[in-house]
Structure 1
């Protein structure tokens, strides 16, 4: 029994400018949209975390909270993860050049985010810097994931120069999550993955909806039929749980 396919554009017309850009977004500049998502993922959360740290140093009440930081980073995780990109490259055939672009975009996003935070909270940052100077170089630092740590470290070097490099601690903070994520992937594939699991009908419905996207012309979604779908979690891939 055939099923009528209804596209969103059949129900809601958009201005021509938006429609024209959407077509380009799905074709010639699709790479830009991917990198934008990766960069935005690194932007999210940095401001909340910076304000929380500044609030603790300067004893400012209500500057931020652990809950706010957690929610902010959760939104960022929905968009991208640097270590997951590396894992996909090594174990799931993710294109290496595309992966490198993703990681560069993540680091660049973290770099820009930290510069924006500095501009926004410069007064508080300078007050915190003055308060920390008497404590000397032994003040504890912050460990973040690779994208935010490397991007943030580069931003600190841009603002304060080489004294902000962080020494050996910088490499430890920036790179720890990568081997940890790779190990987690290996453990998952060996001990938890179940390829014989039955795919629920609702999951198949979601996959078929993606396959019928107008850009694909109703053809099965695969890297061969659409080079834009060779990225993380492309719609032709059934998740193994």
Structure 2
């Protein structure tokens, strides 16, 4: 398809090699569901790989007495970086959920298809599990050294399956003396804050947050959770918790479940009602359907909708509202956008 003044595609400027052409057609149509699942898995991989690796450094360094291998700050910063990478690289393909709580939030508030949601949740948990197993292989020699030190000091039974032990690199645990009601409150409020930030970043009428800023803001929200509230006990992500716990059980057996089964439920499920509550509060008090979409969001959403239309993929949610009958301000922004696209096409034609 030749380039037009309205839509300039990457294939118009940078055609794919022949060996990629067939796959391009397949992945945008029949295999699009599979590509979305891979994107969710890769997003989970990026955030878990960053966070679990930093946690491994902190735990091993603490047990072996090696100063400077990690800290609470490096763990929080690693998760913030991983979330930023995940959204920046994978969200354009799948929407960037990477968390069953976010997917369920989309089901409730955006009409996200249930079958698609089930595929996403499976991909997220599987991605987190595979990532934890990869990190274990990378860190195995040092983790074994840490285990042997705990055995020599007689601390294996008390430390191994705790947040300070090697199993705590992958699974989430709390101390036997910790009040679980306070842990539940800590999990709920922390996840509520993250959910509020996520939903605010998804609001196309929020003029303070352009789409390009969303990955950084959401990453900082996860960093805040690690820096401020992880010592009390916080998981923030069902996929991260279940994937990590299953990995720990694969490595060390059923002992890795942890002695407090109630906390396992809090870690795995606590973020879901908190995320839903955050979206509800934002919709009731902070969002407004009478506000106009920002210029950045108009371009962002229209490009996304055009992709769905070009590949015969049914748009969902508010994307259906981006039709030719737009209001005056949207039309003005569209005219400016089309003018800029025309200039790009002219440059392209002159170059060719």
Q: 1:159 and 1:202 mapped to 2: Cα distance?
A: 47
Spell out the pairing of 1:19-58 with structure 2 (5 A cutoff). 19-44=21-46, 45=50, 46-58=52-64
Q: Is the 8 A contact 2:105 2:275 kept in 1?
A: yes
| Cα RMSD, aligned residues only | 2.6
In the other structure, the counterpart of 1:9 is 11
- Mapped to 2, the partners of 1:174 and 1:237 lie a distance apart of 35
TM-score w.r.t. length of structure 2: 0.58
TM-score (norm 1): 0.82
Instruction: Give the match's secondary structure for 1:197.
Output: coil
What is the distance in 2 between the residues matched to 1:182 and 1:8? 37
Alpha-carbon shift at residue 235 of structure 1 (Å): 4.6
- Across the two proteins, how many residue pairs are aligned to each other? 227
Match of 1:76 in 2: 86
Answer whether contact 1:48 1:72 (CA < 8 A) is retained. Answer: no
More displaced, 184-193 or 163-172?
A: 163-172
Indicate whether 1:153 and 2:251 are aligned: no
1:199 corresponds in structure 2 to 293
Listed as ranges, the gaps of 5+ residues in structure 2 are: 89-95, 173-233, 323-352
Task: Rate the CA distance shift 1:54–1:234 in 2: closer, same or farther, 3 A.
Answer: farther
Cα deviations by residue, 1:145-182 (Å, 9 ceiling, x for unpaired): 21011011111111111111123222121222111111
CA distance in 1, matches of 2:269, 2:54: 23
Query: Aligned equivalents of 1:194 and 1:200: distance in 2?
Result: 13
Question: Which residue of the partner structure matches residue 112 of structure 2?
Answer: 94
**Which fold has the larger relative contact order, with Cα–Cα distance below 8 Å and residues 6 or more apart in sequence?**
2
* Per-residue Cα deviation, 1:196-225 (whole angstroms, up to 9, x for no partner): 002234432333334444x634xxx9xxx6
| CA distance 1:150–1:188, change in 2 (3 Å) | same
What are the Cα deviations for residues 21-76 of structure 1, in whole angstroms up to 9, with x where unaligned?
Answer: 11111111111111111111221223333333323333334545233343123323
Deviates most, 47-56 or 188-197: 47-56
Contact 1:47 1:117 in 2 (8 A): yes
Change (3 A) 1:211 1:155: closer
1:137 and 2:158 correspond: yes
Report the Cα offset of residue 186 of structure 1.
1.2
Classify the secondary structure of the residue corresponding to 2:285: helix
Deviations 1:73-101 (A, max 9, x none): 33235532321101111222111111111
Give 3-state SS (helix, strand or coil) of 1:195's partner: coil
Deviates more, 1:7-16 or 1:57-66: 57-66
2:139 equivalent in structure 1: 121
Q: What is the correspondence of 1:169-208 to structure 2 with a 5 Å cutoff?
A: 169-208=263-302
Question: Do structure 1's residue 226 and structure 2's residue 313 form an aligned pair?
Answer: yes
Select the structure that is richer in helix.
2
Q: Given the superposition, is the C-alpha separation of residues 52 and 74 from structure 1 closer, same or farther in structure 2, using an over 3 Å criterion?
A: farther
Deviates more, 1:94-103 or 1:57-66: 57-66
Is the CA contact 2:238–2:271 (under 8 Å) kept in the aligned structure 1?
yes
Q: 1:62 to 1:43 in 2, by over 3 A?
A: farther
Task: Could you tell me which runs of 5 or more consecutive residues in structure 1 were left unpaired when the two chains were aligned.
Answer: none
